[in-house]
Structure 1
Amino acid sequence: MQGKKQHFIRPRTFIKYVELFFCFSLYPPVFKDYSCTYLPASFPGNLHLVLVLRPTSFFQRTVTDLGFRFSQEDFMLKMPVVMLSSVTDLLRYIDENQLTSEFGGTLDYCHSDWIVLRTAIESFAVMVKDIAQMLQAFGTELAETQLSEECSAVEFLLLSHTEKYRRLKVQLNEALMCRESSHFSLIDYWLLAQLTDMEMAFDGFFDKHHLKLQQYLQLLRYEHSFQEVNCFSVPKIARKHTDGSQTNSVANMLIFLIDLCLFQDEMSQAQVLILHGHQLAAGHHYAMALIVQRCNELRHQCDTLTSALNTKRNSLTQAQTLLRLLEEAQRWCDDGAYLLANQQVDKFQSKEGAQAALRDIEKFQEAAPPLLCAGVDVLFLEYESVLTPCLQAHIEKTFQKHSSVQALIQSRQNCLRKLADKHVRPIQLVVPRPENPPRAKSPLFSPKHGMWWCNINFGSNYLIISIFQPRILTVLSIVTFSQDFALNFSYSVIHVMKELIETERIYVEELLAVLLGYRAEMDNPSLAPLLPTSLRNKRDVLFGNLPDIYNFHSSVFLQDLESCLESPEAVGACFLERKEHFHLYECYCQNKPRSDSLWRQFSDCPFFQECQKKLEHKLALDSYLLKPVQRLTKYQLLLKELLKYSSGCERASELQGALEAMLDLLKSVNDSMHQIAITGYEGDLSNLGRVLMQGSFSVWISHKKGPTRVKELARFKPMQRHLFLHEHALLFCKRREEHGENADKTPSYSFKHCLKMSAVGITENVKGDVKKFEIWYSGREEVYVIQAPTLEVKIAWLNEIRKILTNQQKQLKGLNTFPSLWIKSSAKCINVNDCKNEHSSLFKVINTTNNIMHYKM
């Protein structure tokens, strides 16, 4: 059986030719099955008419008529059937252009071509079905996708969905390319229409899904920004800068105002976020209600924060103004004290000289700050809103200082008026003497030096020590100390304390200038073109931990020193209390070689020149980066001076402890600088503990091999090794120095050997040289003979090694003291109580579990 299909001009109208070659007696039932079962299932439409061409032979025609007659009821129920007698009868129903030559028509028909076309149509139908299934599966995947709360996950999901959509669109476009093929007129219209409808529905669905994902991602980002901005609240700003101890200088107030400016920048970020939220809402975002709510919350919070910022800025500005006025008043008081001190006595011998001195004083008083004329009560009332206990004490201290200077000025004015009004003969100022005092004898009063008088004037806060000669007045010191302090301490102590505090203030100001003038400017967009690209991310390398050092000195240590102004004996305790903070300098000094190398590379950079010009510094940045190292050295010099003039003080031991702590710190910094130059050590040096000692020695080694011992002692040339004594190990290194113009000044140390201190013993005396000692390892399997450069160096190393071994024994025993040790000297065994020389014993502390000898106490 074969079938053929052709198109009428009218779409959706088809003619089906069926040629049945079988026994015509079976024609009716077979045709019934074919027309009623096969055709409706395989042909896309309803059958309206069946034309049956009867056979030409009499027998076959008769059988066919009978068959149709008996099955007429079935055919009438399904479709109309017309029996045709000849081929020419077909032309009444079907146009000859639609009939082949076999049926009297003119249609050119090739059955093989029809098969090819039919195969292409069926393949296209299968492809359309597959595409429909893929689209349905992809749509199900999109509908069931769980949305994450992470922006990165949503971005990845958006990209992956877009990529899958693009691949499906490529397949759809390839399927629709058949529109332009030569056989398009033969392909079923309904398949193309179905494919086009699927494409339109798929595009619409994905566009909605893509928009939803984009809006969801926008919402996540908006919520993240909202949470960041929301962390700045009114209580946080209200608590900011409320510590009264930090509002005692104009510099601190300036820092607080800068912080408020930073808060204002964060407020501008909130305003931008509000504007962005309104833009999202105007774009018909699906979460428009939530976004509008967030915008309203931010707007309300911004209004509240803006009000709080304005209030805080006004109070800080008012406090800054008050501090500036107080500083001007204190400066005026200092200038007045120096004016009185610098007036020369020889000019008072004449009336004109006394009057000129009076005019100088009166002119100086006319330039007094208006603040001093207002009074304490007026200031308290005027600045009541910003007064803190610290500011109140500052005001009272300033007016007390003013009263002291004013009393000195009035005393000098009274004296000068008397000299100007009644000037008969030159008057020499003489110090009042107590009744019947014993005449002090001193080389200062010998004829060799001439006659001198000493005059001491006490104010409530001022001590002026003056030395008078017949023709000149010299002022040794003007300081703001109490009378008790002046009586208890000498001028030298006063001078050292003044230098310590003044240099500390200058040091803090210089650090702040470097941080603001150089480090902060590296983030300045206007100077970005002057800054090399390779230097932008190396700010921490160039400046190290200088911000931490500044914070410690400005916020802690300077206040501690100022509190010791009238009690210099407490300076030692101040240094000891802050001893741990000074270890910041170790990190700074360890980074200093890297900083110097970076500076040498970029020292000619226009950025640094511009910053130096703005700061009006005469020296370049590298000079100021050296200040912390210089300051660390200055402390121990000043402490030595204080200790020198305070030897009889009750708290001199604290000064001695502070001095030792600073010297230890200098040594630790120096040792750590050498430690970072060690190369070749496989491991973390920090696991070995802190460096306690380091230095160069001559070393001989002997190794025990079986019953004999291979010695490398005096008959061999010693090795030069640089030793590093850590808390848990002893390192042997070889010192290497580079030579040349570009060579680094700091030597490097090649690692050679490491001894764990848990298995180390020492012999303190070696025959032949008092500077030698032994370090032996693992029960004398290895013996190192060490020759120190001096006996003092040897003793210092032995003391440190002894401390390490003692601490190890305490940890092993779990006690604070040893039971009692047998100490083996180089010649014989003796008891520790009988040993008079602390450096003539073999000191060994180890555990028996390590197969190492025990010495009992």
Structure 2
Amino acid sequence: MLNSLSDLHGYVDKSQLTQEFGGSLEYSHSQWIHHRTAIENFALTVKTTAQLLQRFGMELAETELPNDVQSTKDLLTAHTDKHNNLKDELKLALRQGSTLFTCIKDQAAKPENHKLNPDEMENQTTVERLLAQLDETENAFEQFWSTHHLKLEQCLQLRHFEQDFREVKVSLDTLMDSLKGLSDTGDCVARVEHLLKELKALEEKAQSTLKKAQLHAMHGDQLIQSNHYAVDSIRPKCVELRRVCDDFSNEAKKKSDVLSKALHIHMGIEKVNQWCESGIFLLASQAVDKCQSQEGAESALTDIEHFLESAEKNHVTELRNLHKQYEVVLSEDIKGNILKALKRLEDVQEMFEKRHVSLKRLSAKQTRPIQPVAPRPESSPKRPTQKNPTRTSGGQQPLARKLSDNSNSNKQPSESDPNNKKKNIRKTKGGIKVLLLSLHH
């Protein structure tokens, strides 16, 4: 039992006793209660905040990534909003702890040369520990959120990439179908020219889609280079886009090449047919009776030679070379048309060669001088006397012989018989016309 404070001082140092007991220790019970209550509230806040962050972290970890753009956007917005709310809670808790720590520290530092008593030191240490715990929780949560947020953003990038890929792929497939549906075998020059125009229009129309596909593939490359988590899904799509673009370009080039060659072929066929028709018309327009004179024969021969020369000038015979060069890529129908045109060309050329040879011979006979022949006696038994003999010029007899030579008859009618002359002329002329008509048809 202690009878006085002096007895208490014998057991307890005055520095450990408050002023009520004659000591020097500064102590305010109300202040101690206020600080202790604030610390307990802050500790509860730290615990509650940590639990909220933990639950939210578990929720993020268990979240399945959506398969479409809109759902991914909604999820990213929801998680971001929740993260921002928790971030505000963390800031509020940190502000509360910092304020409490400042109050404790400033309250203890008011008197000069004041040293913190054990309670104040314990309160300060407790607040510092809670603040450090809250800071660690925040750092861990921010690291986890950063990873999760990046994954959500990459997921949204992936969904956008996949959506754009599907749209571009549909457009490319439509272009490929249109290109494959475009025929590369026209039956005439006009048709092939129309097909070439359609092909050119389709290529121009496809440029924007092809450019978009190439840009989208480049965007995929950028995603891959940024260490996207879905590299295995992005890379095949980039390869597919580039493959389809190359297929379209190669197919368009192939069709353009085939159509261009077909155009050259059809133009060659048309040129041959026009030349043959002009030749047939020329042959038919050369009347045999006009070639009886030297001037007429030479004029007809000149026309024939000029027309034969026009075949080389107009590259009519080029069709044979085109047939050999393009035979591999030509269709059977075009090959058949080429062979018909070449056969017709050969027939007409053969006709011109025969006419050329005939006119050459006829012109040569016309220029031969007439040899005087002594008249035979009228009493000669070998040649009966003719009444009203037909007058024939010296140049008409060779012409009759030439026309009779060109006929298919083996008989040699008398040169002096005018009836036989006319028959031979009509027969030869008619035979040429029949041959010309058969070739024309």
Question: How would you bin the TM-score normalised by the shorter chain?
Answer: 0.5 to 0.7
Please state how far the C-alpha of 1:114 moved relative to its aligned partner. 4.6
Match of 1:199 among 110, 113, 138: 138
1:461–1:118 distance in 2 versus 1, CA, 3 Å? farther
Q: Does the alignment pair 1:149 with 2:67?
A: yes
Query: Contact conserved, 2:269 with 2:341, CA < 8 A, in 1?
Result: yes
Please state how far the C-alpha of 1:400 moved relative to its aligned partner. 4.9
Question: Which residue number in structure 2 is paired with residue 189 of structure 1?
Answer: 128
What is the TM-score normalised by the length of structure 2? Answer: 0.57
Question: Which residue number in structure 2 is paired with residue 385 of structure 1?
Answer: 328
Please state how far the C-alpha of 1:206 moved relative to its aligned partner. 0.8
Offset from partner CA, 1:588-635 (integer Å, 9 cap, x none): xxxxxxxxxxxxxxxxxxxxxxxxxxxxxxxxxxxxxxxxxxxxxxxx
Query: Contact conserved, 1:404 with 1:461, CA < 8 A, in 2?
Result: yes
Distance 2:258 2:439 in 1: 28
- Matched residue SS, 2:65: coil
Question: Which residue number in structure 2 is paired with residue 326 of structure 1?
Answer: 266
- Matched residue SS, 1:139: helix
Query: Contact conserved, 1:132 with 1:198, CA < 8 A, in 2?
Result: yes
Query: Contact conserved, 1:340 with 1:409, CA < 8 A, in 2?
Result: no
Offset from partner CA, 1:739-798 (integer Å, 9 cap, x none): xxxxxxxxxxxxxxxxxxxxxxxxxxxxxxxxxxxxxxxxxxxxxxxxxxxxxxxxxxxx
Question: Which residue number in structure 1 is paired with residue 117 of structure 2?
Answer: none
Larger helix proportion, structure 1 or 2?
A: 2
Offset from partner CA, 1:94-141 (integer Å, 9 cap, x none): 3xxxx5422444455555555544444344334334323332332232
5 Å-filtered alignment, 1:740-759, equals none
Question: Which residue number in structure 1 is paired with residue 374 of structure 2?
Answer: none
Question: Which residue number in structure 2 is paired with residue 855 of structure 1?
Answer: none
Distance 2:3 2:212 in 1: 98
Letter matched to residue 308 of structure 2: E
Match of 1:176 among 94, 97, 108: 94
Please state how far the C-alpha of 1:89 moved relative to its aligned partner. 4.2
Structure 1: gaps spanning 5 or more residues: 1-53, 62-83, 428-454, 463-481, 483-857
5 Å-filtered alignment, 1:693-842, equals none
Query: Contact conserved, 2:90 with 2:138, CA < 8 A, in 1?
Result: yes
Please state how far the C-alpha of 1:317 moved relative to its aligned partner. 1.6
Please state how far the C-alpha of 1:203 moved relative to its aligned partner. 0.4
1:183–1:359 distance in 2 versus 1, CA, 3 Å? same
5 Å-filtered alignment, 1:234-253, equals 240=180, 246=186, 249-253=192-196
Distance 1:145 1:289 in 2: 21
Match of 2:8 among 60, 65, 86: 86
Please state how far the C-alpha of 1:365 moved relative to its aligned partner. 1.8
Distance 1:272 1:318 in 2: 30
Pairwise CA RMSD: 5.2
Match of 1:364 among 274, 289, 310: 310
Q: Does the alignment pair 1:286 with 2:225?
A: no
Question: Which residue number in structure 2 is paired with residue 666 of structure 1?
Answer: none
Q: Does the alignment pair 1:337 with 2:277?
A: yes
Question: Which residue number in structure 1 is paired with residue 80 of structure 2?
Answer: 162
Distance 2:209 2:337 in 1: 34
Please state how far the C-alpha of 1:165 moved relative to its aligned partner. 1.4
1:263–1:194 distance in 2 versus 1, CA, 3 Å? same
5 Å-filtered alignment, 1:499-510, equals none
Letter matched to residue 271 of structure 2: R
Query: Contact conserved, 1:325 with 1:371, CA < 8 A, in 2?
Result: no
- Matched residue SS, 1:146: coil
Question: Which residue number in structure 2 is paired with residue 211 of structure 1?
Answer: 150
Please state how far the C-alpha of 1:189 moved relative to its aligned partner. 1.8
Question: Which residue number in structure 1 is paired with residue 370 of structure 2?
Answer: none
What is the TM-score normalised by the length of structure 1? Answer: 0.33
Please state how far the C-alpha of 1:199 moved relative to its aligned partner. 0.8
Larger strand proportion, structure 1 or 2?
A: 1
1:184–1:409 distance in 2 versus 1, CA, 3 Å? farther
Comparing both chains, which one has the higher relative contact order based on Cα–Cα distances under 8 Å and sequence gaps of 6 or more? 2
Please state how far the C-alpha of 1:395 moved relative to its aligned partner. 2.0
5 Å-filtered alignment, 1:682-701, equals none
Query: Contact conserved, 1:101 with 1:107, CA < 8 A, in 2?
Result: yes
Choose 281-290 or 308-317, whichever is displaced more. 308-317
Offset from partner CA, 1:325-344 (integer Å, 9 cap, x none): 43134135325635875999
Please state how far the C-alpha of 1:161 moved relative to its aligned partner. 1.4
Query: Contact conserved, 2:185 with 2:262, CA < 8 A, in 1?
Result: no
Query: Higher Cα Rg: structure 1 or 2?
Result: 2
Question: Which residue number in structure 1 is paired with residue 19 of structure 2?
Answer: 101
Query: Contact conserved, 1:358 with 1:417, CA < 8 A, in 2?
Result: no
Distance 1:217 1:194 in 2: 34
Offset from partner CA, 1:635-674 (integer Å, 9 cap, x none): xxxxxxxxxxxxxxxxxxxxxxxxxxxxxxxxxxxxxxxx
Identity of aligned residues (%): 28
Kindly tell me the number of residue pairs found equivalent between the two proteins: 345
5 Å-filtered alignment, 1:42-81, equals 56=3
Query: Contact conserved, 1:100 with 1:107, CA < 8 A, in 2?
Result: yes
- Matched residue SS, 2:13: helix
Distance 2:87 2:71 in 1: 24
Please state how far the C-alpha of 1:287 moved relative to its aligned partner. 4.1
Letter matched to residue 165 of structure 1: H
Query: Contact conserved, 1:155 with 1:217, CA < 8 A, in 2?
Result: yes
